[in-house]
Structure 1
């Protein structure tokens, strides 16, 4: 028998959390998605037309990258690249997940 050493490879996982001040920040956010980093974006304090443009731009980029979008709270969203699964639907009994929602309409 041979002795073999198996080393675990770990990598730091980065998550971008942002409250954008304007549409001009979108290309940098898409770069994060392209780098396989999910984004949590808070659009609560930005003018509604600009918030909609940012959401639409990031939604298109996320779709093009085979990712998904999930609403977290009113005007707060997670944009995730395809390497990140978003699971939603925590039940009332604890921290177990009831179901997985992918590609659902985040504006509901």
Structure 2
């Protein structure tokens, strides 16, 4: 080894030179764009959407149905198994719940309703042609 090489080894200058050289080389390389953490997977959005089918037998079950809407699930209610007065009370209660959640309530059939929270968009209309209907039964 030459005197110059021994001097570098003694003071460790050769190692620093390599480190400095590597840092300069890293600075000259083009940087890759940093990944952003604000990307949302569509699978997670789709898996959280649920539709619950309910067929209450009395007004006492309305709180359980309303909890589904509060938990951001859509609810389809079939009110054929309750009498007209209880069905009106259920619709009134669910209308208040949906309003509080900034959601929507739509009539799908004679006694079938769709209640959705605010993140669900409903488009289209279902027209109901009722030739023989009881005006007291219609809500």
TM tier, smaller: 0.7 to 0.9
TM-score, normalized by length of structure 2? Answer: 0.58
Structure with greater proportional strand content: 1
Match of 1:82 among 118, 123, 126: 118
Name 1:48's counterpart in structure 2. Answer: 84
RMSD value, Cα: 2.1
Match status 1:28 vs 2:91: no
Look up the SS of the partner of 1:69 in the other structure: strand
- In the TM superposition, residue 75 of structure 1 has moved relative to its aligned partner by 1.1
- In the TM superposition, residue 44 of structure 1 has moved relative to its aligned partner by 1.8
Unaligned 5+ runs, structure 2: 1-30, 127-138
Number of residue equivalences = 91
Matched residues in 2 for 1:59 and 1:7: separation? 32
Name 1:2's counterpart in structure 2. Answer: 32
Matched residues in 1 for 2:105 and 2:40: separation? 34
TM-score, normalized by length of structure 1? Answer: 0.73
Matched residues in 1 for 2:94 and 2:117: separation? 11
Decide which structure has the larger Cα Rg and report it.
2
Structure with greater proportional helix content: 2
1:28–1:2 Cα change, 3 Å: same
Higher relative contact order (CA 8 A, sep 6+): 1
- In the TM superposition, residue 8 of structure 1 has moved relative to its aligned partner by 2.5
